[in-house]
Amino acid sequence: MKSLLTSVALAALGAPALAANVELGPRPGFLIDQMEDGDLKDTLAQCADMDFQPSAWSIGHRGAPMQFPEHTVESYKAAARMGAGVLECDVAFTADKELVCRHAQDDLATTTNILATDLGQKCTAGFTPASGDTPAGADCRTSDLTLEEFKSLEGKMDAGDDTATDIESFMDATAGWRTDLYSAQGGTLMTHAESIALFKELGTKFTPELKSPAVEMPFDGFSQEDYAQKLIDEYKAAGVPAEDVFPQSFNLADVLYWIEAEPEYGAQAVYLVEWPSEGEFDEQDPATWSENFEELKAQGVNYLAPSMNMLVTNADGTIAASEYAKAAKAAGLNLISWTLERSGPLTTGGGWYYTPLNDMITSDGQMFELVDVLAQDVGVVGLFSDWPATTTYYANCMGLN
């Protein structure tokens, strides 16, 4: 086995404030059973009878959305029960400029029941059925609704059938490897402030992500800086210490704003980056990278969160740390990554999240191989997962609490 991760940054993340009865269920064991025989499988298997504890290395991505409606009370509680020591509320705003937990400002059509309610009439663009080459869809935004109206909605599994010709079929599109079992009663939507109160009760740390607005800013006098500041102000109002909060954004200007305006919180601000959708990117070729790691560090950025596919590479049939990951670490940046268990079964490759590895991914058993490389070779200080039982199991087994 590789040496265990030791990191000042991991210590800074810290263990969750409260102990919890962690319930991991059968999935970690199932994944271990699928692994090829070897030292890693043996080590992980020997941990099955551990007294598992919450771990800040295990981050609940939108809660536990592999099976629970994302950004709902039920999803967050499930993630905490699986030992996630950090929970994420993606932050958008309503028409009355209140902060709420949503992955995108314009995702209500696929993550809530809005189209089945009268509030569907308030959407920026109502439901359009599929016709010819035009897919079905709707544009329903948090900014279309007041906070009271938003809170009247129910969360559902994030899905929409773009071949549907009616609203009911459009909404009934949950992937077969997920489930509607825990969304039948409707998930409970939350404000950002309510998420803070719940996470405090659950004893976890906080990683809110300021989502890019779908509307032009300023919005009714509400500037991007006002938006970024309001996020921090709600932690201050709740008495949450800065060291427990890891604010995130894909917008570097937001991160730099926090560093300048709120240095205690800004010291833990997380700059999110992903494998670009346009242009060339090669995790092994610095000439294709957009990020200047040394410049980011000089600007006060301490945490960089690339998607998993940027941090690993296929080294002659073995998963290995990428040159991108090595260079970011060499510049003194703490790395967090996303998102494990968002790709579905790995029997035919892992899809986008496994971009450099797809030719070698054939089994769910390789999931822990990836996690091990991210932890031991890349040295990430936290890993987002759609099912935190897996990351909690690994963190406990390898002493990453």
Residues of the chain with pLDDT below 70 are: 1-20
Q: Could you confirm whether domain 8-89+190-397 is CATH 3.40.50.300?
A: no
Residue 209 has what pLDDT? 98
Run of H or E including 142: none
Cα 326 to Cα 20, 25, 358, 380: the distances in Å are 35, 34, 21, 11
What 3-state DSSP class applies to 22? Answer: coil
- C-alpha 282/C-alpha 267 separation (Å) is 29
Residue 20 has what pLDDT? 56
Partnered with residue 210 across adjacent β-strands are 91
Residue 21 has what pLDDT? 82
Partnered with residue 271 across adjacent β-strands are 249, 304
Collect contacts of 280-288 with beta carbons under 8 A, ≥24 apart. 281/310, 283/309, 283/310, 283/311, 283/312, 283/313, 283/322, 283/323, 283/324, 283/325, 283/356, 284/313, 284/322, 284/323, 284/324, 285/323, 286/323, 286/324, 286/327
Place of tokens 């970011």: 328
Question: Residue 285 has what DSSP assignment?
Answer: -
Is the bond preceding residue 392 a cis peptide, omega within 30 degrees? no
Where in the chain are the domains? 8-89+190-397, 106-182
pTM of the model: 0.95
- C-alpha 285/C-alpha 322 separation (Å) is 9
Residue 10 has what pLDDT? 45
pLDDT in tens, 111-161: 999 999 999 999 999 999 999 999 999 999 999 999 999 999 999 999 999
